[in-house]
């Protein structure tokens, strides 16, 4: 029998169908390791309220912490199966590169250099921030441009330190940097008057002013942002299966809010909704989990255990928290913000 020979149009059609045929994902090395250990190992901040902070009993909370719990819910079926590894600005990248942690969720800025030269991949953005300055109130001190010649506290090994130098150089302003390894030391130097200003991400300064500074009313955050700081979780490059899981865990929290799915109503929607998008999400419609190497309830478990993105923001940084930070850019795109998930379909 002669072998079947396809005409050019037929061969093109077969190739197109092959590309369009959905494939189930297979587990990558990181996911295999997580299942073997029984925990997701998550690198977090040493302690920053609203993002990642442990209480006296060792219980962690914050939007980065919620993301880690969401990962555990998706891949292990239990949001509590997380090992938190506190990391400093100096150790966070090397901890991820060296495999000490499975994911870095430590309000870390996504930059070109980190994304291309350090072997990391950012899975998305969970907080849009920018660098700002906090100072003691003083008549006439209303702008960063008034800080020429000032002594400014900053942490080493951060984009903040580089942004500070570049901004003052670009504006031909002199300053004296007082560099510390830990933010607590910078904050103490500001409070004691050793530094005339302290610079960090605006979100961090809002937490500092609302919760940590004594006589907080004596201080003001200057209005300008001198940089853009898109913050989000990152994973090591080279494991595309784990990257996809980490990315879609974040997007699932955002997508849930877009669809009106919350921890409070998800069970009711799972039982009764006929909306195809909601059915896909809660696991009663098309099986989306198989493309991640997970089961069909992966996204249901995320929201059931942790909530959607808005719930997480509100209780950690927003109206339900002590910080009372406006959603601003962290609002959904439908409400004037920047938070958007690709369609889960």
Which of 11-20, 120-129, 326-335 is least confident? 11-20
Please indicate, yes or no, if residue 19 is contained in any of the structural domains.
no
Q: Are residue 124 and residue 239 in the same domain, yes or no?
A: yes
Please indicate, yes or no, if residue 110 is contained in any of the structural domains.
yes
Please indicate, yes or no, if residue 3 is contained in any of the structural domains.
no
CATH code of the domain containing 237: 3.40.190.10
Q: Are residue 99 and residue 166 in the same domain, yes or no?
A: no
Q: Are residue 160 and residue 209 in the same domain, yes or no?
A: yes
Confidence of residue 28 (pLDDT cuts 50, 70, 90): confident
Tell me the two tokens of residue 53. Answer: 């902070």
Q: Are residue 158 and residue 96 in the same domain, yes or no?
A: no
Q: Are residue 122 and residue 241 in the same domain, yes or no?
A: yes
Please indicate, yes or no, if residue 17 is contained in any of the structural domains.
no
Q: Are residue 217 and residue 238 in the same domain, yes or no?
A: no
Closest by CA to 101, choosing from 111, 109, 91, 112, is 91
Tens of pLDDT, residue by residue over 32-60, are 999 999 999 999 999 999 999 999 999 99
| Predicted local confidence at residue 169, as pLDDT | 97
Q: Are residue 76 and residue 109 in the same domain, yes or no?
A: yes
Q: Are residue 49 and residue 102 in the same domain, yes or no?
A: yes
Cα separation, 80 vs 207, in Å, equals 26
Q: Are residue 138 and residue 215 in the same domain, yes or no?
A: yes
Q: Are residue 191 and residue 311 in the same domain, yes or no?
A: no
Q: Is the pLDDT of residue 11 over 60?
A: no
Of 20 and 312, the structure prediction assigns the larger pLDDT to 312
Q: Out of 196, 227, 258, pick the residue that ends a domain.
A: 227
Angle at 240 between CA 235 and CA 242, to 5 degrees: 55
Cα separation, 338 vs 336, in Å, equals 7
Tell me the two tokens of residue 246. Answer: 């980490």
Q: Is the pLDDT of residue 175 over 50?
A: yes
Q: Is the pLDDT of residue 68 over 70?
A: yes
What's the domain range around 252?
A: 29-128+231-335
Please indicate, yes or no, if residue 23 is contained in any of the structural domains.
no
pLDDT over 90 percentage in the chain: 88
Q: Is the pLDDT of residue 182 over 90?
A: no
Q: Out of 227, 256, 284, pick the residue that ends a domain.
A: 227
pLDDT over 70 percentage in the chain: 92
Please indicate, yes or no, if residue 5 is contained in any of the structural domains.
no
| Predicted local confidence at residue 26, as pLDDT | 53
Sign of CA dihedral 217, 220, 223, 225: negative
User: What is the average per-residue pLDDT within 308-327?
Assistant: 96
Sign of CA dihedral 274, 276, 280, 282: negative
Cα separation, 75 vs 131, in Å, equals 35
Phi, psi of 11 (to 5 degrees): -60, -40
Please indicate, yes or no, if residue 2 is contained in any of the structural domains.
no
Q: Out of 227, 252, 283, pick the residue that ends a domain.
A: 227
Identify whether the C-beta of residue 186 lies closer than 8 Å to the C-beta of residue 115.
no
User: What is the average per-residue pLDDT within 233-240?
Assistant: 97
User: CA-CA distances (angstroms) from residue 316 to 201, 231, 242?
Assistant: 17, 16, 26
The domain total for the chain is 2
User: CA-CA distances (angstroms) from residue 133 to 44, 157, 221, 333?
Assistant: 24, 18, 6, 28
> What is this structure's pTM?
0.88
Q: Are residue 262 and residue 293 in the same domain, yes or no?
A: yes
Please indicate, yes or no, if residue 220 is contained in any of the structural domains.
yes
Q: Are residue 240 and residue 121 in the same domain, yes or no?
A: yes
The Cβ-side half-sphere exposure at 274, using a 13 Å CA radius, reads: 0
């Amino acid at each position: 029998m002669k072998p079947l020979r396809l005409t050019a149009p037929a061969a093109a059609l077969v190739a197109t169908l092959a590309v369009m045929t959905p494939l189930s994902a297979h587990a990558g090395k990181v996911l295999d390791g997580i299942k073997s250990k029984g925990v997701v190992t998550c690198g977090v901040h040493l302690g920053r309220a609203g993002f990642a902070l442990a209480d006296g009993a060792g219980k962690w909370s914050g939007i980065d912490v919620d993301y880690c719990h969401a990962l555990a819910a998706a891949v292990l079926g239990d949001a509590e199966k997380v090992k938190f590894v506190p990391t400093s600005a100096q150790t966070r990248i090397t901890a991820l590169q060296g495999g000490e942690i499975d994911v870095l969720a430590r309000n870390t800025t996504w930059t070109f250099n980190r994304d291309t030269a350090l072997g990391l991949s950012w899975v998305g953005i969970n907080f849009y921030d920018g660098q700002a300055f906090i100072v003691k109130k003083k008549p006439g001190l209303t702008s960063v441009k008034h800080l020429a010649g000032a002594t400014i506290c900053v942490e080493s090994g951060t984009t903040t330190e580089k942004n500070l130098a570049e901004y003052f150089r670009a504006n031909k302003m002199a300053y004296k940097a007082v560099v510390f390894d830990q933010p607590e030391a910078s904050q103490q130097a500001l409070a004691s008057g050793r530094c005339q200003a302290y610079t960090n991400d605006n979100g961090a300064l809002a937490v500092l002013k609302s919760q940590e500074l004594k006589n907080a009313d004596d201080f003001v955050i200057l209005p300008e942002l001198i940089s853009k700081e898109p913050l989000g979780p990152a994973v090591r490059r080279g494991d595309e299966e784990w990257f996809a899981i980490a990315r879609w865990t974040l997007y699932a929290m955002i997508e849930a809010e877009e669809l009106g799915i919350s921890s409070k109503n998800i069970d009711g929607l799972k039982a009764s909704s006929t909306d195809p998008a909601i059915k896909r999400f809660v696991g009663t419609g098309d099986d989306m989990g198989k493309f991640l190497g997970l089961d069909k309830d992966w996204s249901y478990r995320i929201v059931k255990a942790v909530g959607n993105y808005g719930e997480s923001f509100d209780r950690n940084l927003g109206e339900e928290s002590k910080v009372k930070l406006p959603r601003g850019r962290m609002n959904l795109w439908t409400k004037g913000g920047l938070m958007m998930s690709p369609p889960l379909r």
